[in-house]
Every structure is written in C-alpha cells, then in structure tokens.
C-alpha cells in the first residue's frame, strides 16, 4: 500500500488528531496510600554532567531577534550549555552516572535496573538506557527508557521506588538526560532561547528502615493538552522524509502561554497533594526543587502555595531548561552546595510534555 505522505504531513491533521482525544477531567491519583512498602528507597548518590560549550543570552542576540533583557526578564535565564554536533544523550548520561555511582560507592555490576528519562535519546531504539548499560559495564541490569517530557526524572524516580519498595530490586540507577539543542528550531526565538542540554543521575538503594528516602510520590497526566508541546515528525505518524524536514516538523513546537498556566497550577497542586499524603506542613519542607523552565513559573508556584522563595532552589540562570535533567541537576547542585542536610525533607516537582506533572517527597 502506498502511504499518502503528503496528507499525513499536513500539520492541521496532527492538530485535529490531538483535539479528537476526549477531554477528560483529571481525577485525583498518585499514591495517597502506599501499600506493600517493604523497603525504603534512599538516594545514595547523585551526579550531573553538562556540555562544555556555554551559550549566553548575548550569543543568542547575534543569531535571533531577541535581547538579554527580554530573556532575563521573561525567563530568568542567562546562559545554557549546548552539545557539540558529535555528542549525544548517552555521552552525558554515562558521565553523570559515573559520578553518582562513585558517591554511592556502587559498582556497575551491582546495578539491577537502569531507567533513563529522555525525549532526545541517542536514537529511537535501542533505548538510551541499554546504551548506558553497555557503556557502564552494568551487565546485571535490566534497562529501559521513560518518556514523560520534563517530568521524566520524577516519573522515573517514582517508578524506581516501586521496584525497591516491593523488594524486586535493591540498587537502581535513574538518569534524566536531554539534548534539546538537536530538536530546537534555531530560527524560532520563542523556543530557542529556552532549551538546553545536560544530564543528571541518582543511585537508589533499598533501606530496611521505614520512612527513609522517598516518602511519597504523585504523578498525573492530561494527554488532551499534548498539542501544546510536541514534536510532530520522526515517529510512526509522520516518519522522516525530505518533506518533513523541509516543513521543519522535526523541531519542538510549543504554545508557551498555555503551558505557563498549566505549569503554575499543576506544580502548586502537586506540592499540596504531597504534603497531604505525607501529613506534613509546608514549614516541614527544607527545600523545594522545581523543574527549571521559567523563573516566573517558579515564583508564581511559590506564591500560590505561600512558600518562601529562599527555600526554593533555582539554577535556571546557568543551565536554562534541560527538561528531564533539570530537577536532578538541581538536586545534585543543592546537595553539593550544602542546601540539604541529613534528615531534611525535600520536594522535587515538575511538569512537561504530555502534558505530565508530578512530584516526589524525600527525606535525606
Ligand atoms: N525575544 C524577544 N521577544 C520574544 C521572544 C524572544 N526570545 N520570544 C517571544 N517574544 C515576543 C513575542 O513575539 C511577543 O511579541 P508580540 O507581543 O509582539 O506578539 C512577546 O514577546 C510576548 O510573547 P509571549 O509568548 O506572550 O511571552 P511570555 O511572557 O508568555 O513568555 C515564554 C514566553 C517565556 C515562552 C513563557 O510563555 C513560558 O515560559 N512558557 C512556558 C514554557 C515552558 O515551560 N515550556 C515547557 C518546557 S519546554 C520542554 O518541555 C522541552
């Protein structure tokens, strides 16, 4: 059968495809009750790695109709890291993982599962997790990728925690990595100034003491808003072709203002739900580590939940939006800067393509 590529390539069809999805009310979900918790999942080590190349707002002024003033005021971003043409996701993922494993004093052979959260893996398959497994020499580990946009690391952490809680695995490597510069339309100023590259990793270990590490998690999604943040081509609906490239369909498309509103509302909601699930108050939380998409989103979320900004971690000025990698890069920096001490309660919260959102409440 000859596929009508021309018809498939019509971006309007994709818009119709998304809007044909039944719009359903998002109901409460998550793990308000956490049955079968045999073991706590504790973070034994973290690490991150970013490209060497720094792209500043001033550099962007030279290639786009934008300004340092606009980017700083609207996003809080000052610079970001951009991969070389020959660098791919697994390069950063492996370097981040090596650092996390060293801190956790875990050898690659001890890892039983690798989860890599990414939407910009080395290639559609094999998974980037399998490539990382091979490159680390983690020959006893199962491996899989997880796609949840910028919430990817949170989804991966919650998934890993379930395997540990049930006693299935004792040692899991969780990585968040993104090379967004390779799916960025460098002619589109509304997205090009936001996106960046990097990786972060955490080693999770089983702990027999109850109430340690991950205390509770909450995950949610609303596919009806997928159209607000997506990459049209490169999948089975619009496979790569000369036409798909000419129509710039292999780049990320975003409705920034729609995402902005959902982001603020959903991240505030996640924090409230996590506190309610754990029967804690905002005062009990030492630090909130939000997805670094926009400083104004972070500030609006903090205001909505009446949480002091000095207890919200921000490093967006240095790394911009690294999607799946953003919360774990921020967590590693916060730990290494001494912002988190033993026993502190921390909330990690994110939203992203899907749309997805979620959070994790941890004791260090
Ligand atoms: N430089 C200068 N002007 C710009 C730029 C730019 N880089 N980008 C847009 N503008 C212009 C627009 O054209 C518009 O001009 P007009 O008024 O003449 O039409 C004006 O600035 C205002 O544009 P808005 O889109 O209304 O600006 P806003 O204040 O909403 O900020 C932004 C845009 C930063 C994208 C914001 O909406 C946002 O952060 N949204 C959320 C983005 C996000 O979190 N995405 C998810 C992560 S991405 C991922 O998952 C990989």
In this structure, the dihedral spanned by the alpha carbons of residues 28, 277, 351 and 207, taken in order and rounded to 10 degrees, is: -130
- At a CB cut-off of 8 Å and minimum separation 6, what does 48 contact? 96, 99, 198, 199, 200, 201, 325, 328, 329, 332, 333
* pLDDT tier at 14, thresholds 50, 70, 90: low
Decide: 321 in ligand 1 pocket, CB within 6 A.
yes
Ligand 1 atom nearest to 178, measured from its CA: 51
315 is catalytic: no
pLDDT of residue 13: 58
* pLDDT tier at 36, thresholds 50, 70, 90: confident
Model confidence at 138: pLDDT above 70: yes
pLDDT of residue 3: 37
Model confidence at 8: pLDDT above 80: no
pLDDT of residue 17: 53
Decide: 151 in ligand 1 pocket, CB within 6 A.
no
Nearest 5 degrees, angle CA 72-CA 77-CA 79?
115
13 is catalytic: no
Map tokens 């996701």 to a residue: 89
CA dist., res. 364 & res. 335, Å (int) = 10
Positive/negative CA dihedral, 96, 322, 163, 273: positive
Q: Where are the alpha helices (DSSP H) in the chain?
A: 5-8, 11-19, 57-63, 68-75, 89-104, 128-136, 152-165, 189-192, 242-246, 256-278, 295-304, 316-319, 326-336
The share of the chain scoring above pLDDT 90, in percent, equals: 89
Map tokens 């089975």 to a residue: 236
Q: Which domains does the chain have, with CATH numbers?
A: 40-211 (3.40.47.10), 214-363 (3.40.47.10)
150 is catalytic: yes
pTM: 0.92
Model confidence at 102: pLDDT above 90: yes
Give the model confidence (pLDDT) of 294-348 as tens digits: 999 999 999 999 999 999 999 999 999 999 999 999 999 999 999 999 999 999 9
Contact 180, 149 (CB under 8 A): no
Closest by CA to 154, choosing from 282, 312, 323, is 323
Task: Find the mean pLDDT for residues 223-228.
Answer: 94
Q: What's the longest Cα–Cα distance across the chain?
A: 63
């Amino acid at each position: 059968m000859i596929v009508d590529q021309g018809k498939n390539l019509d971006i309007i069809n994709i818009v119709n495809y998304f809007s044909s999805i039944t719009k359903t009310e998002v109901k409460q979900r998550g793990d308000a009750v956490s049955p079968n918790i045999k073991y706590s999942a504790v973070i034994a080590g973290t690490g991150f790695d970013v490209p060497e190349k720094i792209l500043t707002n001033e550099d962007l002024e030279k290639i786009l109709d934008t300004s340092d003033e606009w980017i700083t005021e609207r996003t809080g971003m000052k610079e970001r890291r951009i991969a070389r043409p020959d660098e791919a996701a697994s390069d950063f993922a492996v370097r981040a993982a090596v650092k996390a494993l060293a801190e956790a004093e875990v050898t690659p052979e001890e890892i039983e599962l690798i989860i890599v959260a990414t939407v910009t893996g080395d290639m559609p398959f094999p998974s980037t997790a399998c490539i990382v497994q091979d490159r680390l020499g983690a020959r006893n580990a199962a491996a899989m990728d997880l796609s949840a946009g910028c919430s990817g690391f949170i989804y991966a952490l919650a998934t890993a925690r379930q395997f540990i809680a049930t006693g299935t695995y004792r040692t899991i490597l969780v990585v968040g990595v993104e090379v967004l510069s390779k799916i960025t339309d460098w002619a589109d100023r509304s997205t090009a100034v936001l996106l960046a590259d990097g990786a972060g990793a955490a080693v999770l270990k089983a702990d027999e003491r109850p109430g340690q590490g991950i205390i509770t998690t909450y995950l949610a999604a609303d596919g009806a808003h997928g159209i607000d943040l997506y990459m049209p081509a490169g999948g089975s609906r619009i496979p790569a072709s000369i036409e798909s490239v000419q129509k710039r369909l292999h780049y990320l498309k975003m409705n920034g203002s729609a995402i902005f509103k959902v982001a603020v509302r959903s991240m505030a909601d996640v924090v409230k739900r996590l506190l309610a699930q754990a029967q804690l108050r905002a005062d009990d939380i030492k630090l909130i580590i939000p997805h670094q998409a926009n400083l104004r989103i972070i500030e609006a979320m903090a205001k909505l939940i009446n949480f002091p900004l000095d207890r919200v971690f921000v490093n967006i000025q240095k790394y911009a939006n690294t999607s799946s990698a953003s919360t774990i890069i921020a967590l590693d920096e916060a730990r290494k800067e001494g912002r988190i001490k033993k026993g502190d309660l921390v909330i990690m919260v994110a939203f992203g393509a899907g749309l997805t959102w979620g959070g994790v409440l941890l004791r260090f």
